[in-house]
Amino acid sequence: MGWRRLLLLPIALLASLAVVVLARTLAQAPDLDARWRLDANGHLQLIATDLPWMRPALGHSLEVIVAPGTAPLFVDGRRVVNSSRWVASDEEREAGARQQRQMARMLQPGAPVLLGFTDRMNARVTPHARGYATLGITFWLLCGLGLALELVGAVVILVRQDIRNFLYAVMAQCQAAQLLLAAVDAVPGMGNMSLLGGHEAALRMALDVVTCAALLNATLLYPTPLPPRRALASLSWLAALVFSGAALAFDLPQAWWWCQALQLSTGLLVIGLLGWSYRITPHPYATVMRRLSIVTVGSLALVTIVVALSDRMPGEVQSLVSAVPVIWTVFFASLLLMSPFLARSQHMMREFAMLAGVSTLATSVDLLFVAVFSFNQFASITTSLFVALGVYAASRQWLLDQMIGARAVTTERLFEHLLRIARKVEEQPERAADWQLELFHAVFQPLVARHEPGFTQTTRWYEGGAGLLVPLAVEPPSNAGSPSQFDDGDQPEPRLIVLRFAERGKRLFTAEDARLADRIVEQLRRAVAHDRAIEQGRSEERGRIAQDLHDDIGARLLTLMYKAPNPEMEDYVRHTLQDLKTLTRGLAATTHFLSHAAAEWKADIAQRLSPTGCTLEWSFTQDVDIQLNVVQWSGLTRILRELVSNIIAHAKATHATIHADLANGVLKLTVTDNGVGGTPKDWSTGLGLGGIRKRVRMLGGTIAWQQNTPEGVRCDVSVPLAVPATPPSQTSPGASVG
């Protein structure tokens, strides 16, 4: 890493030096102390000067410049100030370059020139060095942008030396040079463009075409290498070389048209290739780049049309016409600057690029209107401004969404998901990892979402936003109690969630997404911790109540039982005490397995029956073991206890049979005795039967007594305990047919 930083320093210094040299050259170039404006007829109008003897000429147009030793130059305003890169016709461009050269020859430091204005006004002016102050803010801004692009290009190639980054560096360097040239163009004054001799236009076209070739080549390689990459890349580089050579060495006829055609066709090709690439691999980068390309190519097409039609436009909008390509250049350069950081969501840069893009579009469209409807200058500029701002304000969000891609989940939905998953994680901690995966799937809708072992403290994204690594907020309890059938000792615990290709491959993960994921993880952790704390508090509270009940009331009931005046009272208190114990145990433990409960019932009943000389026949079957909640456990415990109490106290039976069977979530209890039951209808209500009925009803079940033959009573209780996990597969034949 060290050598890269060391290398970056001289590169930055060199680039800065280039800018300084450029500024110095321009500052020392001779210039007339005057400000000009293009008027409606394409003449240069004097609008400001510091020289007192030129004041009378204010508002008049410059017609001719005379210098000793050269032929007088008849000034064509359009050709004096602007770069000839964006001039459609060969003759115009050639004439412009010629005039720039001639003007540069005439303006020599210390050699006075005579300026001839309309209405026969003359002024004698001595050109002198311009100075840094008059270079203008636009010059410095464009230089700054060019410098930034140059440095980003250098950084990209220094970070990793591969063909992709090399191509990006080529594009960046070309466009940085383009920006510097545009900066020179933006300096007010005459003859600036003569710095490069007559080749300025050809050079700038060559830079654009080389950029196009590099862009096409990069598209062929990334995000997905496309099959015809060798042929197409070679072709594009060949075209770029041939064009550059032809434009620089010979004056290629219709060079501007060739250049625009090459640029536009490359753009269309890139759009097509990105679409193809997305169909092969749905990498979101392809989608995002495709959207950007469409905007860029569309605006370039508009700019081309505007420039081609500039002849038909009135003189007063000519300065605007010349500004459109500059804005487009800035737009393209800022896109290029942004593309390595697409996922890092550089707000400033994004807004800037959008503003430049929208301005290009709005100004171009506006100028087309001017060409068609012949507005005047003021109207056109105002309209242009309003249209640009209006379009920007209206389409900002939409464009942002289109460029970067919108998040599909609203805040409200996100909140719901979060709460739901927090609850699920709490309910089924062993599946915590799955629930969290589901949550992130719902939030980002990635094409790929899976667990992986590994560790990350915070969310990280990789491959420039194609993927996101999220830490697990709540890790499933290790060794979750149920050993699996196969030996999974080799598989490490999942600790990470890997998401790839957000929004079904239409969007890149941004730094905001990473922050959002971190927030979600944090909130989930907090929610689960909160739930656990509440649950713990509740169970502590219940435990304390149970303890108090047991210690205080229990001890008193016990004393009362020992001091009972007769056995009936003693039994009554004993039952109360047992009910209290059931109650407190239910409070202390929240769930009981049915199989465990059944074992305890059985042992308890056997113990109670044995001193009475009554034998017990017990059977218990269940299709699946379920967990009873507190209500079910204590309800069933007390129902059974009452039924057995009745057998002991009233039936005088010698044999009792209890069958318990759980099938499809319904527990059927059959309690039979051979005692002196008689007709159940004749029983008095004081036998605790009311209590049993009430409890069965509370559990949503049914109870029925009937006289048993030859003797005794049979009681059938049926209580639904759980919804069957799967509906019974055997339905009645009629139902399946009908």
Among 347, 504, 530, 596, binds other proteins (CB under 8 A): 596
Contact call for residues 75 and 62 (beta carbons, < 8 A): yes
Say how many residues make up the chain: 738
One character per residue 511-550, x = contact with other proteins (rule: CB under 8 A): ---------------------------------------x
CB atoms within 10 A of CB 693: 14
The secondary structure of residue 507, as a DSSP letter, is B
Closest approach of Cβ 647 to other proteins, in Å? 16
Angle CA 520–524–526, to nearest 5: 120
Q: Can residue 649 be called a binding residue for other proteins (CB under 8 A)?
A: no
Closer residue to other proteins in complex, CB, 54/660: 660
Instruction: State how far the alpha carbon of 321 is from the alpha carbons of 137, 316, 360, in Å.
Output: 20, 10, 11
In which residue are the tokens 């979600």 written?
520
Half-sphere exposure of 677 (CA within 13 A, CB side): 26
Q: Can residue 105 be called a binding residue for other proteins (CB under 8 A)?
A: no
> Which stretch, 78-86, 168-176, 251-259, 575-583, contacts other proteins (CB under 8 A)?
575-583
One character per residue 465-504, x = contact with other proteins (rule: CB under 8 A): ------------------x---x-x---------------
Contact call for residues 702 and 692 (beta carbons, < 8 A): no
Closer residue to other proteins in complex, CB, 525/585: 585
Q: Which residues contact 714 (CB under 8 A, 6 or more apart)?
A: 670, 671, 672, 705, 706, 707, 708
> Which stretch, 25-33, 91-99, 216-224, 606-614, contacts other proteins (CB under 8 A)?
606-614
Q: Which residues contact 507 (CB under 8 A, 6 or more apart)?
A: 284, 287, 288, 404, 405, 406
CA distance 77 to 62: 8
CA distance 621 to 417: 41
Closest approach of Cβ 477 to other proteins, in Å? 17
Among 603, 624, 631, 704, binds other proteins (CB under 8 A): 603
Instruction: State how far the alpha carbon of 486 is from the alpha carbons of 368, 452, 453, 483, 534, in Å.
Output: 73, 19, 19, 8, 36
> Which stretch, 58-66, 577-585, 622-630, 674-682, contacts other proteins (CB under 8 A)?
577-585
Q: Can residue 607 be called a binding residue for other proteins (CB under 8 A)?
A: yes
Q: Can residue 621 be called a binding residue for other proteins (CB under 8 A)?
A: no
Q: Can residue 229 be called a binding residue for other proteins (CB under 8 A)?
A: no
Contact call for residues 67 and 104 (beta carbons, < 8 A): no
Q: Can residue 655 be called a binding residue for other proteins (CB under 8 A)?
A: no
Q: Can residue 559 be called a binding residue for other proteins (CB under 8 A)?
A: yes
Closest approach of Cβ 585 to other proteins, in Å? 6
Beta-sheet pairing, 467-471 with 34-38:
unpaired
Q: Can residue 569 be called a binding residue for other proteins (CB under 8 A)?
A: no
Side chain identity at residue 226, one-letter code: L
Q: Can residue 581 be called a binding residue for other proteins (CB under 8 A)?
A: yes
Q: Which of 456, 492, 493, 450 is nearest to 471 (CA)?
A: 456
Closer residue to other proteins in complex, CB, 554/688: 554
CB atoms within 10 A of CB 538: 11
Closer residue to other proteins in complex, CB, 199/574: 574
Q: Can residue 553 be called a binding residue for other proteins (CB under 8 A)?
A: no
Closest approach of Cβ 602 to other proteins, in Å? 3
CB atoms within 10 A of CB 607: 10
Q: Can residue 428 be called a binding residue for other proteins (CB under 8 A)?
A: no
Task: Return the structure tokens found at 71.
Answer: 């032929």
Contact call for residues 110 and 129 (beta carbons, < 8 A): no
User: With contacts defined by CB under 8 A, how many residues of the chain interact with other proteins?
Assistant: 32
Closer residue to other proteins in complex, CB, 35/574: 574
Closest approach of Cβ 621 to other proteins, in Å? 12
> Which stretch, 16-24, 212-220, 369-377, 570-578, contacts other proteins (CB under 8 A)?
570-578
CA distance 172 to 170: 5
Closest approach of Cβ 502 to other proteins, in Å? 41
CA distance 142 to 178: 10
Q: Which of 648, 649, 631, 647 is nearest to 582 (CA)?
A: 631
Closest approach of Cβ 419 to other proteins, in Å? 34
Q: Can residue 633 be called a binding residue for other proteins (CB under 8 A)?
A: no
Closer residue to other proteins in complex, CB, 374/610: 610
Contact positions vs other proteins (CB under 8 A): 483, 487, 489, 550-551, 554-555, 558-559, 561-563, 574, 577-578, 581, 585, 588, 595-596, 598-603, 606-607, 610-611, 618, 620
